[in-house]
């Protein structure tokens, strides 16, 4: 099944839409768009499994907690006036403040430095895998030039915009 509708591309040539469901010819209501997003997530879950869902939820929670948790940890270490009523801070340290400061420093190290480094490492590894899979010597340079691949950037943009699970 393909869309089959004819349209004029940017160069003025008549083309036929070969996508099963494309952004330009999809006339979905808001409810149907939300359902499409949900079904794409279910499809991605079925393709990638439970561990993928667990990692995606964990990463979303880590990103959501990043700013508030780091803000609190930095305020404790810097002895912000908001916490001075709870601790005597660095001048007269007690066991409660030492524990809070230690845990705050650990949090700043693990979440403040570790999360961005881990995200960079994941993206770097993913980039290496894409380069290895599409630019390897066995392809003899076939996929290095976008004009010879047959997949132009505008077509790719429309595909990604219409299928939200394409980049998941």
* pLDDT tens-digit map of 62-112: 889 889 999 999 998 888 878 777 777 777 788 888 888 899 999 999 989
Judge whether residue 13 has pLDDT over 90: no
Q: What is the DSSP letter of 94?
A: -
| Residue 149, pLDDT above cutoff 70 | no
Res 1: pLDDT: 47
Helix (H, G, I), strand (E, B), or coil: what is residue 16?
Answer: strand
Q: Could you give the percent of the chain with pLDDT greater than 90? A: 11
Nearest to 57 by CA among 34, 77, 79, 41: 41
pLDDT at 22 over 80: no
Name residue 7's beta-bridge partners.
15
- Once rounded to an integer, what is the mean pLDDT over residues 27-40? 83
pLDDT of residue 160: 65
- Res. 146: pLDDT tops 80: no
pLDDT higher than threshold 80 for residue 157: no
pLDDT at 14: 80
Please give the pLDDT value at position 150. Answer: 56
pTM exceeding 0.75? no
> Mean of the pLDDT values across residues 9-38?
75
Q: Is the pLDDT of residue 47 over 90?
A: no
By CB neighbour count within 10 A (0-12 exposed, 13-18 middle, 19+ buried), where does 72 fall? middle
Per-chain mean pLDDT for the chain: 78
| Cβ-Cβ contacts under 8 Å for 9 (sequence gap 6 or more) | 15, 154
Q: What is the pLDDT of residues 113-140, one digit of tens each?
A: 998 998 899 889 988 888 777 776 776 6
3-state secondary structure of 79: coil
Q: How far is CA 15 from the centre of its chain?
A: 33
């Amino acid at each position: 099944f393909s869309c089959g509708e004819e349209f004029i591309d940017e160069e003025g040539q008549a083309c036929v839409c070969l996508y099963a469901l494309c952004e330009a010819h999809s006339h979905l209501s808001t409810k149907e768009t939300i359902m499409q997003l949900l079904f794409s997530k279910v499809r991605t879950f079925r393709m990638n499994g439970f561990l993928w869902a667990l990692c995606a939820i964990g990463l979303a929670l880590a990103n959501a907690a990043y700013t508030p948790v780091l803000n609190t940890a930095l305020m404790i270490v810097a002895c912000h006036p908001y916490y001075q009523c709870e601790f005597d801070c660095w001048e007269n340290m007690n066991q409660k403040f030492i524990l809070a400061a230690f845990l705050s420093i650990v949090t700043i190290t693990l979440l403040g430095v570790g999360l961005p480094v881990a995200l960079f490492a994941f993206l770097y590894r993913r980039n290496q895998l894409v380069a290895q899979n599409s630019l390897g010597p066995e392809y003899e340079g076939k996929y290095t030039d976008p004009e010879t691949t047959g997949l132009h950037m505008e077509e790719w943009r429309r595909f990604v915009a219409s299928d939200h699970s394409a980049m998941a």
